[in-house]
C-alpha cells in the first residue's frame, strides 16, 4: 500500500531540498486586516545570494480536486521569480500546467522530488508589503512550521503523540523479546567461558602456551602440533611389549 502524502509531508521535504536557502511556509502577501488582495503562498523560498536572490513559490496540491478548483494561483506570480505546483506523483499532468508555472512530483516512499516541468524565470518587482510581512511575522523560526495554523499544529502534535505512544508500546514489547534473547546469549557465553577455563588447564598440563590458545588449537587441528595423549601412550606400550615378546621367542630358538 502506497503511503498517502499530506501537505505537511511535502513542506518538510521541500525544507530538506532548500536546506541552504531561506525557506518559510504559509506566507501572506501583505497585511491580514483590511486587505482585499491578500493571498497565502504555501511555501516561499529565497536563495541566499546578494547578486541573484532567486525567489521561488510553491503551491502544494495533495488532491486532484483542489487543483481543478484552483483559480487563484496566478496571483502568486507577482511574488516570485519562479512558480511551481508540487504534488504527489501523477495528481497533476504536465500538459495541465500553464506556461507561467512549473511542476514537481513528490514520491511517497522516499524524499525524492522530481522536476517534471521546469518553471520559467520571470523578472518581478516585489511589493514591499511582502517583505514587511516576512520580517514582522516569519522570522521567529516560523512559529508553527509546516502547518497552516496553530490549530493544525496542535491537532498534528496530538496525533503524533498518540502514534509515538503506540510505537513506544510496540518498542517495549520488542525490547522485552530482545532482552530474553540477550539473557540466552549471556548464558551461552558463561558456558563458553567455563569451557575455555578447562581448555586452559588442559594446555597447561601439556606445557602449551596459553597466551596463544587459538594458534595452538589451529596447529593441533592441522597436525602441526604433536601431543602424546593417553591412546598414543597405550599404543606405544603395546608395541614395546610385542617387540619384547618377539625378542624372547627369537632367543629361545637359539638356545
The residues, ordered by sequence, that sit 6+ positions from 101 with a Cβ below 8 Å of its Cβ are: 73, 83, 84, 85, 117, 119
pLDDT at residue 35, rounded to an integer: 61
Longest alpha-carbon distance in the chain: 142
**15, 23 contact by CB (below 8 A):** yes
Kindly write down the DSSP assignment for every residue of 183-222, as one continuous string: HHHHHHHHHHHHHHHHHHHHHHHTT--GGGHHHHHHHHHT
> Is the domain of 106 the same as that of 12?
yes
Q: How far apart, in Å, do the first and last CA atoms of the chain sit?
A: 102
Closest CA to 70 of 41, 45, 27, 30: 41
Q: pLDDT > 90: what percent of the chain?
A: 21
Closest CA to 43 of 89, 91, 106: 106
Task: Report if residue 63 sits inside a domain.
Answer: yes
Task: Report if residue 1 sits inside a domain.
Answer: no
Kindly write down the DSSP assignment for every residue of 20-44, as one continuous string: TSEEEEEEESS-STT-TT--EEEEE
pLDDT interval class at 49 (50, 70, 90)? confident
**Domains in the chain: how many in total?**
2
Task: Report if residue 206 sits inside a domain.
Answer: no
What is the domain extent for residue 100? 7-147
Domain boundary among 147, 170, 189: 147
User: What's the Cα-to-Cα distance from 45 to each of 19, 102, 202, rounded to whole Å?
Assistant: 10, 15, 74
Using the Cα atoms of residue 150, residue 71, residue 66 and residue 18 in order, give the sign of their dihedral.
Answer: negative
pLDDT at residue 118, rounded to an integer: 95
Task: Report if residue 230 sits inside a domain.
Answer: yes
> Is the domain of 15 the same as that of 133?
yes
> Is the domain of 236 the same as that of 128?
no
pLDDT interval class at 142 (50, 70, 90)? very low
**208, 228 contact by CB (below 8 A):** no
Mean pLDDT of 2-18: 84
Higher-pLDDT residue of 149, 15:
15
β-strand 40-46 against 22-28: which pairing, if any? antiparallel
Domain boundary among 147, 182, 198: 147
Task: Report if residue 72 sits inside a domain.
Answer: yes
Task: Report if residue 201 sits inside a domain.
Answer: no
Task: Report if residue 115 sits inside a domain.
Answer: yes
pLDDT at residue 121, rounded to an integer: 94
Task: Report if residue 69 sits inside a domain.
Answer: yes
Closest CA to 152 of 2, 25, 63: 25
Domain boundary among 147, 168, 194: 147
State yes or no: pLDDT of 113 exceeds 80: yes
Amino acid at each position: 500500500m502506497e503511503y498517502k502524502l499530506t501537505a505537511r509531508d511535502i513542506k518538510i521535504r521541500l525544507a530538506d531540498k532548500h536546506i541552504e536557502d531561506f525557506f518559510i511556509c504559509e506566507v501572506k502577501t501583505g497585511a491580514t486586516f483590511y486587505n482585499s488582495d491578500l493571498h497565502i503562498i504555501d511555501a516561499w523560498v529565497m536563495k541566499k545570494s546578494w547578486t541573484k536572490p532567486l525567489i521561488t513559490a510553491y503551491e502544494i496540491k495533495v488532491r486532484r480536486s483542489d487543483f481543478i478548483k484552483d483559480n487563484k494561483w496566478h496571483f502568486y506570480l507577482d511574488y516570485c521569480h519562479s512558480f511551481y505546483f508540487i504534488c504527489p506523483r501523477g495528481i497533476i499532468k504536465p500538459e495541465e500546467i500553464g506556461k507561467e508555472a512549473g511542476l514537481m512530483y513528490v514520491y511517497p516512499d522516499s524524499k525524492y522530488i522530481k522536476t517534471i516541468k521546469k518553471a520559467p524565470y520571470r523578472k518581478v518587482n516585489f511589493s514591499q508589503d511582502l517583505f514587511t510581512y516576512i520580517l514582522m511575522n516569519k522570522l521567529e523560526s516560523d512559529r508553527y512550521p509546516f502547518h497552516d495554523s496553530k490549530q493544525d499544529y496542535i491537532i498534528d502534535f496530538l496525533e503524533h503523540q498518540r502514534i509515538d505512544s503506540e510505537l513506544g508500546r510496540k518498542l517495549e514489547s520488542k525490547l522485552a523479546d530482545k532482552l530474553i534473547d540477550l539473557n540466552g546469549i549471556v548464558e551461552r557465553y558463561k558456558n563458553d567461558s567455563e569451557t575455555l577455563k578447562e581448555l586452559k588447564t588442559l594446555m597447561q598440563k601439556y606445557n602449551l602456551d596459553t597466551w596463544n590458545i587459538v594458534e595452538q588449537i589451529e596447529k593441533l587441528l592441522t597436525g602441526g602440533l604433536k601431543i602424546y595423549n593417553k591412546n598414543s601412550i597405550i599404543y606405544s606400550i603395546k608395541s614395546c611389549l610385542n617387540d619384547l615378546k618377539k625378542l624372547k621367542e627369537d632367543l629361545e630358538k637359539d638356545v
